[in-house]
Amino acid sequence: MSGILFLCIHNAGRSQMAAGFARELSGDKVLILSGGSEPADKINSVAVEVMKEIGIDISSYVPQKYNDELLNAVDVVVTMGCGDTCPYIPGKRYVDWPLDDPKGQPLDEVRRIRDEIKNRVTELLAQL
């Protein structure tokens, strides 16, 4: 089974939305994980709201710090705005998505970010 790890700084917005889409779209055929370099206390409430609008509930997920176990469990690591704080392990496929951080953004902007993430996740899953 292929695996994808979505990483961002706080694991509260972008990476959680990406993981939510990937779980929904992969039909349990791909291991989906997410993490952050400096995890927040909870998921961004606006990210939860915009995902619920399209029928995906990410409210039960908790931001977590990435670790070696997460990194070693996957084939692909998708980074989103964490720059040098994201880990690098030789032999893994890395993809960087330069996405805006939804933190503090208005609802319409978070919807735009959500839709961009969906498009990128769909493309990535088609490549696996």
115 is an active site residue: no
* Tens-place pLDDT, residues 10-21: 999 999 999 999
Q: Taking 90 as the threshold, does the pLDDT of residue 101 lie above it?
A: yes
> Which of these is catalytic: 8, 17, 50, 110?
8
- Which pTM does this prediction carry? 0.94
Active site residue 82: yes
Question: Residue-wise over 16-54: b if at least 16 C-beta within 10 A, else e?
Answer: bbbbbbbbbbbeeebbbbbbbbebbeebbebbbebbeee
Q: Report pLDDT digits (tens) over 35-93.
A: 999 999 999 999 999 999 999 999 999 999 999 999 999 999 999 987 767 777 888 89
CATH class of 2-119: alpha beta
Active site residue 86: yes
pLDDT of residue 28: 83
Number of H-type helices and E-type strands within the chain: 4, 4
Delimit the domains of the chain by residue range. Answer: 2-119
Catalytic residue among 56, 82, 99, 124: 82
Residue 60 CA to residue 57 CA, distance in Å, equals: 8
**Active-site hit among 30, 32, 56, 86:** 86
> Which are the contacts of 117, defined by CB distance < 8 A and separation ≥ 6?
14, 17, 18, 21, 97, 99
